[in-house]
């Protein structure tokens, strides 16, 4: 089998640091991140990081969870999932010229 190199965004020990570095160094006025409640980072984790760099907003949408696995052996017991649209309008101090 081929060796698999996991991204830093897939590692609990590294995701927060790398995500903050990405947001801090992103040279964009607006950043939109769609992320659900089954991800490594919590809603509050994303909010706390993004809020440091400008005006933050959040939109939430509830969905019926897709069930591809067998119901008796499911890793995720919830029937619903929440999709978060994290919105950041970066302040001019954070835009790289």
Over residues 32-84, the pLDDT tens digits come to 999 999 999 999 999 999 999 999 999 999 988 776 655 555 565 678 899 99
CA 61 to CA 56: how far, in whole Å? 17
What pTM, to 2 d.p., does this model score? 0.81
Phi and psi of 12, rounded to 5°? -55, -35
**DSSP per residue, 34-78:** EEETTSSS-HHHHHHHHHTTEEEEEEEEEEEPP--S-GGG-S---
The pLDDT assigned to 2 comes to 78
């Amino acid at each position: 089998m081929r060796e698999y190199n996991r991204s830093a965004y897939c590692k609990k020990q590294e995701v927060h640091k790398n995500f903050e570095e990405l947001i801090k160094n992103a040279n964009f006025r607006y950043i939109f991140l769609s992320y659900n409640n089954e991800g490594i980072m919590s809603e509050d984790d994303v909010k706390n990081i993004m809020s440091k760099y400008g005006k933050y907003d959040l939109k939430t949408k509830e969905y019926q969870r897709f069930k591809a696995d067998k119901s008796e052996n499911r890793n995720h017991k919830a029937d619903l999932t929440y999709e978060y649209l994290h919105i950041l309008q970066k302040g001019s101090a954070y835009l790289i010229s």
